[in-house]
Amino acid sequence: MIFAVTLAMWTMILERQYFFRYVYPSEAKAVLDRWMSRDDQVSWRAHRIRELWISETSVDLNHSIKLINTLVALCPLLGLLGTVTGMIEVFDVMATAGNSNARAMAAGVSKATIPTMAGMVAALSGLYFSVQLQKFAKDEGDKLADRMTHD
């Protein structure tokens, strides 16, 4: 389960990286060119059109970022779920075999710790890129808004 969530998270992160590097620059240029080609840039209507275009671009920039953040937060929780199931196995072994079967208990402890580590590693790997994506989206949206000045 952690693998599937991590795979989905990284697929979305890579998609956002691709979008920011290859798709967004031409989108931003097209919006900026449309704005600069307008004769009217100062009326109330022009301001609303500017806000609309900035908002549409912002939606494109922030697409999937909240879902990536959700998957980052979900990874440690899935790791904890693995911990719980591993500890249940340890307690089950203790109930059936008593405290003397250390080998059987070790298997349960292993099942309890590995998912926790996997969940934390997956979350930490995604957290860095999630923050970078958010920062980039905000900065690029602000830059576009600044470039679309009203004369």
Query: Residue 24 pLDDT more than 90?
Result: yes
Average pLDDT, the chain: 89
State the angle between helix axes of 65-97 and 102-147 in degrees (0 to 180), rounded to the nearest 10: 170
Query: Residue 36 pLDDT more than 80?
Result: yes
pTM for this prediction:
0.82
pLDDT number for residue 73: 95
pLDDT digits (tens, 9 = 90+) for 109-120: 777 888 889 999
pLDDT number for residue 115: 87
Q: Which two tokens stand for residue 17?
A: 């990286």
Q: Evaluate whether 150 touches 46 at the Cβ level (below 8 Å).
A: yes
Q: Which two tokens stand for residue 146?
A: 């600044």
Once rounded to an integer, what is the mean pLDDT over residues 71-77? Answer: 95
Q: By mean pLDDT, which of 5-9, 119-123, 145-149 is the weakest? A: 145-149
Query: Residue 34 pLDDT more than 80?
Result: yes
| Nearest to 75, CA basis, from 3, 147, 151 | 3
Once rounded to an integer, what is the mean pLDDT over residues 125-151? Answer: 91
Q: Read off the pLDDT band of 150 (50, 70, 90).
A: low
Long-range CB pairs of 14-23, under 8 A, 24+ apart, other chains included: 15/64, 16/63, 16/64, 16/65, 16/68, 16/133, 17/129, 17/133, 19/60, 19/63, 20/61, 20/133, 20/136, 20/137, 20/140
Q: In whole angstroms, what is the distance from residue 120 CA to residue 67 CA?
A: 18
